[in-house]
Structure 1
Amino acid sequence: MRLIGNIVWLIFGGFLMGIAWWLAALLCSVTLIGIPWAIAAFRIGTFSFWPFGRRVVDRPEGAVAGTFSALGNLIWAVLFGWWLAVGHLVSAVACAATIIGIPFALQHLKLAGLSFFPYGKDIEPIV
């Protein structure tokens, strides 16, 4: 069932939003300072292509790492997060127009929230 969900997901906006995440990652990787953002964006972009059967969890961090994650998320949200969130929100509205698309709209809404806070997150399989 996860395979079918992921294939339909690619059609209902997952492919375009995954490309958008990877484009943001490529833009971040142009500079040496942006490489940590690029790594996080590639990780979330890969999740955006194939989300069913996996989930996003908070990474356990110490106080110093948590501070850097918060600062990184703030910078990310200002530069890239807002337009990725808008893309996911538009996709969610389009998916919610049909009853079949409601689970996909909910996934887009989860990714819209993640668009602002990609640092400090890990992706793990659901068993």
Structure 2
Amino acid sequence: MKNTVSTLLNVIWLVFGGIWLALGYLLAGIVCCLLIVTIPFGIASFRIALYALWPFGRTIVDRHDKVGALSTIGNVIWILVAGIWIAIGHALTAIPMFLSIVGIPLGIANLKMIPVSLAPLGKVIVPVSSGYPKRF
């Protein structure tokens, strides 16, 4: 039953904006991969694009084993250059989603993407049922 609800919400999400959100992250990833220095941001954008395409039934967790000083510095740069604007965009697009009963889960999913849009490096997207240690 849980998988059926997740699939139904993912299809609704896809139709009402998920595809455009994923395409935006995909385009950002392509642009980031043009320069060698920004390739980690491009890879993170591709990862977020896949999550934005099909968010229900998955969650974002910290990767404690591979997070270091470079990830922290990269996240600070990301927040200053793009992260804050993407987070504001997620918050603003969540508001109209909350106006209907069907849109409430979509608004929650949109708000759930804010932490990873602010600091994408050092995060991993896992299925909710995986039992991964620390969830957001």
Q: TM-score, normalised by structure 1?
A: 0.90
Amino acid of the residue matched to residue 68 of structure 2?
G
Q: Structure 1 or 2: larger helix share? A: 1
Aligned-pair CA distance for 1:107: 0.9
Aligned length: 125
Aligned-pair CA distance for 1:58: 0.7
Cα distance between partner residues in 2 of 1:11 and 1:79: 29
Asked whether the 8 Å contact 1:25–1:38 carries over to 2, the reply is yes
Cα distance between partner residues in 1 of 2:24 and 2:85: 9
1:28 match: 32
1:116 match: 118
The SS at the match of 1:92 is: helix
2:133 match: none
Amino acid of the residue matched to residue 112 of structure 1?
I
Cα distance between partner residues in 1 of 2:97 and 2:56: 16
Asked whether the 8 Å contact 1:28–1:38 carries over to 2, the reply is yes
**How large is the Cα RMSD of the aligned pairs?**
1.4
Q: TM-score, normalised by structure 2?
A: 0.84
Moved more, 17-26 or 46-55: 17-26
The SS at the match of 2:124 is: strand
Find out whether 1:56 has 2:60 as its counterpart: yes
Identity %: 38
Amino acid of the residue matched to residue 77 of structure 1?
I
Amino acid of the residue matched to residue 51 of structure 1?
P
**Mind listing any 5+ residue stretches in structure 2 that lack a counterpart?**
130-136
